[in-house]
Amino acid sequence: LFTGNEVEFDADGNKMLSLTLSFKDNLSGVNTGPTKRPLLVRNRFNITFEPKSCSVSAGVTTCTYTERYSDIIATGVSQHLYTIKNLSDMAGNTSSDHSLELLLPPPGSVDIGITSPTDDSII
């Protein structure tokens, strides 16, 4: 669920999107070493994204992927398919790839209304 804080502009004016994914391994923990971090792969064009950061709290590993919005989400497409690859635990066990689907509202299906200020109000 997007909350609105995931999109921002970088210093060069590029529209950026941050996705945060959580992983958990109950025994040894998720491996986030320099070459062992979980990769997010956009199936369309096979584009690989590496996490910009990973942290562990209460046994849950959270990785944040920040890239250009247009690289992560194709314009005018509602369904986006990804694969999580390179997922392993600290004991060296590797996981199979995991599919991930991001569904956005179809173009034109979102209504936007200005509710404040109301008619005849003074700012």
For the cut 90, the answer to whether the pLDDT of residue 114 exceeds it is: no
Q: How confident is the model at residue 1 (pLDDT cuts 50, 70, 90)?
A: low
Average pLDDT over residues 38-56: 96
Q: What's this model's pTM, rounded to 2 decimal places?
A: 0.81
For the cut 70, the answer to whether the pLDDT of residue 31 exceeds it is: yes
Q: Which long-range contacts (CB under 8 A, 24 or more apart) does 53-61 make?
A: 56/29, 56/30, 56/32, 59/24, 59/26, 59/29, 60/22, 60/23, 60/24, 61/22, 61/23, 61/24, 61/25, 61/29, 61/30, 61/32
Domains defined for the chain, CATH in brackets: 7-103 (2.60.40)
